[in-house]
Amino acid sequence: MTSYLRLTDVSKIYGTVTALSKIDLTAEKGEFVTFLGPSGSGKTTTLMIVAGFEKATTGDVMIDGRSISAMAPHERNIGIVFQNYGLFPHKTARENVYFPLQMRGQAKAQGLRKAAEMLDLVGLKDLGDRYPKEMSGGQQQRVALARALVFEPSLLLLDEPLGALDKNLREQMQIEIKRIQRALGVTTVFVTHDQSEAMSMSDRIVVFDKGRIEQAATPLDIYHRPQTKFVAGFVGESNLVEATVTDAAAGKADAAELGQCDYKPDAALKNGQAVTLLIRPEHIKLSRQPLEGRKNVRIKVDTIVNYGDNALLMGHTEKRTLRCRVLGADIVIIKEGDECHLSWLPDAVVPIAG
Amino acid sequence: MQATIAKLAERPNLWPWLLLTPLAIYLAVFFLVPLANVVFMSFTEPRLTLANYERVLTGALYQRVFVNTFATAALVTAVCLLVGYPLAFLMTRSSPRTAMLILTLVTMSFWTSFLVRTYAWMVLLGDSGPIIGFLKAIGIEQPPHLLFTRFSSTLAMVHILAPYMIMNIYSVMRKIDPVLIRSAQSLGARGAALFRHVYLPLTAPGIANGSVLVFVICLGFYVTPVLLGSPREQMIAGLIGTEIEEFLAFGRGSAMAIILLLITLVILTIYHRRFGLDKLWG
C-alpha cells in the first residue's frame, strides 16, 4: 500500500545554497505529521514545496498516488494556515470562510451556510459578522483554520500557526486543532520549532536539520530513542556524554568524563565504536549517599531553578556539568553548593552511534 | 533652575504649541487674512449684496464652466488611474532598482517648473511640432489640431498629476502582505478572480487617496488649462482670472473662488467620513 502524501528525493537549491537535500517522507491518510526543526532547517521550505509556492529543484510530491509537482497552488486543493493567518481584512469572518467555496463556484446561499457551519465547528458561532481586526489572535486563528478546512482539502498545512499566541492560548489552541483535525480526519502537516508542541500534537514527528531529515518517528520514539545526536539535543532536555563501546554484548562503554557507563544494549553497536550516551534529566535521581544497582556520580550543586512542582538542578563533577530534574518535594533539602550524588539505571542510558 | 525644569515637565504639551507658532503666524497672515478678504469681497463688491452669488450660481456661462471643470477633473482622475494603477503594480513587481528608476522617472515631472513643462507641451503638440511633423511625414495630409484642445490640456494635467496617483497606489500596494495573496491562491483563486476579490479591494484605499488628491488639485488648475486648453472649455480658475483681470469683477471672482473652496471642502469631508483624512498622506 502506498502512502497518502509522498515526497521522493526532493531537493531545493538556491544558487550555491542547498536548502533541502534529497528529502524522502510520507504521511498516511488522516495522520498528523509535524515538521520540527530550528529556523533554516528546511521544514518551511518543504511545506512551501508541498503547497506549490516553491518549486523543488529535484524530486516529486504525490498526493493519493497522483503527482502534484506540476500544479499551480490554486489547483492543489490544499488548505494552509499561515503564521499570521492571512485573513482578508476587507471581508468578515464568514466571507473569509466562504471565499474558497466562492472560488469553486458554489452558490452563495449554500456557501455561506457551509461557512457558518464551519465557524460553528471551530467555536465561533456568533462571530461570523466580525472583521478580522475586531477579533483576538486566537479567534483569527480559528477563522483561518475554518477557511482552510471548509472546502474539504486533500491536505491541511499549518505553518507555525501558534507562534504569535501567548502560552495559555497556545495550549488551548493545540487541543482545539487536534480536536478539529480528528473530527474531520484530514491529513495534516504541522510546522513548528517548538518541540513540546510537536510532542503533544503529533502522530509522527519529522525532525529537520540543515536541509536533511534527521529522524521521522512517533513522538515517544523521538524522545526515548533518538537516532542522532541532533535529535537527542533538540528534543527535550538532555545530558550527552561522549563514550567508546567496550563490551557491546553486555552494553558497556567507557566515557572519558564519567568513567565506565552501562547502557541499554543495542545490537547495532560494535566494540570500539564511538557513541554518544543520552541521559534524560528526569531519569536521574538525586541522593545524599550512593544508591545500590545504579551508576553513581558525585557532584557539587551549582544552580537550582525551581518551578514549584519540579526543579532543574545543575551540578558539576570534576570533568563536566550534569543536569537533573527533581520533584519539588525533594529539592527542599538541597542547597546550591551542597555535595550530593546523581544516579541512574543502565536502561535510562540511550546510546547513539557517532 | 530645577524648579523651572520641574515646571516645564509638568506642562509637557506646551512645547508643541510653541514650535507651531511660526507656522501658525505665517498661515494667519498669508492665508487666513487673504481668504477672509476674499469672503468679504464676495459679499461687498461693488456694494453689500448677494448678487455675485446669484449671478455665479444661475448664469449659464458660469454653470457651464463649473460643469466643465468637474468633467475635466473627473476625466483627468480617470486617466491618471488607468495609467497609474498598472504602473504602480509594475513597480511592486520589479526589482528594487527598477522600481527606484520608475519612481524617479515618474517624479521627475515634480522637479521641473510648472511653466517649463507647460511650454514643453506647447512645443511638442504645436502645429509645427514633432508630433504633427511625424503625422505629416507618414502621409496624413491634414493632421488634427492637438494644441488648445481638451486633449492637450488633459494630457498635460495627467502628466502633472499622475505622480500623486501613482505614489498613493504604490505605497498601498507595497504594504499588502504577500501572505494574503498566497492565502488566496491556496484557497483556489487566480487571475481575474484573485484581482477582483482580493487585490483590488486591498488597493482600494490607494485608489481613493490618489483619486481624491488628483481630483481636488485638478479642480483648481489654472496655468495648464489656460495655456493649453480650448478657450471653449474653460475651467473655474481660468474664468476667475478672466473676471478679475479683464472685467475687474472682484466680487464675482471671489464668489466663484468661495464656491470652489466649499465644494472642495465637501469632497474632503465625505472622504474623511469614509476613510479618514489622515490616510491621504499615506
Domain limits for position B29: 1-44
Strands A239-247 and A274-279: antiparallel
Given A74, A89, A90, which is nearest B188 (Cβ)? A74
Mean pLDDT, residues B198-211 taken together: 93
What is the band of B3 on the pLDDT scale with cuts at 50, 70, 90?
Answer: low
B249 and B198 in one domain?
Answer: yes
Give every CB contact of residue B201 below 8 A, 6+ residues apart in sequence: A88, A90
Residue B149 lies in a domain: yes
Mean pLDDT, residues A122-135 taken together: 92
What is the overall mean pLDDT for chain B? 88
B37 and B126 in one domain?
Answer: no
pLDDT tens-digit map of A19-69:
999 999 999 999 999 999 999 899 999 999 999 999 999 999 999 999 999
How many whole angstroms separate alpha carbon B68 and alpha carbon B77? 14
What is the band of B112 on the pLDDT scale with cuts at 50, 70, 90?
Answer: confident
Residue B102 lies in a domain: yes
B215 and B138 in one domain?
Answer: yes
B186 and B107 in one domain?
Answer: yes
B24 and B95 in one domain?
Answer: no
Q: Hey, what domains does chain A have and what are their CATH numbers?
A: 5-229 (3.40.50.300), 237-353 (2.40.50.140)
How is residue B48 written as a grid cell? 453689500
Q: Which of residues 75-134 of A touch B (CB under 8 A)?
A: 76-80, 82, 84, 86-90, 99-100, 102-104
Nearest to B257 by CA among B225, B229, B235: B235
Strands (E), A70-136: 78-81
Cβ neighbours of A86 in B, within 8 Å: 177, 179-180, 182-183
B179 in A contact zone (CB under 8 Å): yes
- Best mutation target among B187, B203, B275 (most A Cβ atoms within 10 Å) is B187
Tell me the backbone φ, ψ of residue A236, rounded to 5 degrees.
Answer: 75, 180
Tell me the backbone φ, ψ of residue A19, rounded to 5 degrees.
Answer: -85, -30
Kindly tell me if the per-residue pLDDT of B281 is higher than 60: no
pTM higher than the cut 0.90: no
Residue B73 lies in a domain: yes
Cβ neighbours of A76 in B, within 8 Å: 186
Name the residue of chain B whose CA is nearest to A89's CA: B202
Name the residue of chain B whose CA is nearest to A50's CA: B186
As for the ipTM of the complex, it is 0.82
B156 and B22 in one domain?
Answer: no
Say how many domains are in chain B.
2
How is residue A251 written as a grid cell? 552494553
B70 and B27 in one domain?
Answer: no
pLDDT of residue B282: 46
- Best mutation target among B179, B186, B207, B274 (most A Cβ atoms within 10 Å) is B186
Give every CB contact of residue B78 below 8 A, 6+ residues apart in sequence: none
**Residue B11 vs residue A57, higher pLDDT:** A57
B84 and B190 in one domain?
Answer: yes
B277 and B162 in one domain?
Answer: yes
Contact state of A99 with B187 under an 8 Å Cβ cutoff: yes
Residue B265 lies in a domain: yes
B79 and B132 in one domain?
Answer: yes
Tell me the backbone φ, ψ of residue A352, rounded to 5 degrees.
Answer: -120, 120
B149 and B276 in one domain?
Answer: yes
**Residue B115 vs residue B83, higher pLDDT:** B83
What is the overall mean pLDDT for chain A? 92
Name the residue of chain B whose CA is nearest to A147's CA: B187
pLDDT tens-digit map of A71-89:
999 999 999 999 889 999 9
CB A37 within 8 A of CB A43: yes
- At B21 the three-state DSSP class reads helix
pLDDT tens-digit map of A278-312:
999 999 998 888 998 899 999 999 999 888 888 89
Name the residue of chain B whose CA is nearest to A152's CA: B187
Our CA-based measurement puts residue B148 at a distance from the nearest CA of chain A, in whole angstroms, of 44
CB A151 within 8 A of CB B188: yes
Cβ neighbours of B207 in A, within 8 Å: none
Residue B51 lies in a domain: no
Kindly tell me if the per-residue pLDDT of B2 is higher than 70: no
What is the band of A229 on the pLDDT scale with cuts at 50, 70, 90?
Answer: very high
Kindly tell me if the per-residue pLDDT of A1 is higher than 60: no
B20 and B100 in one domain?
Answer: no
Kindly tell me if the per-residue pLDDT of A335 is higher than 90: no
* Domain harbouring B93, CATH code: 1.10.3720.10
Kindly tell me if the per-residue pLDDT of A146 is higher than 60: yes
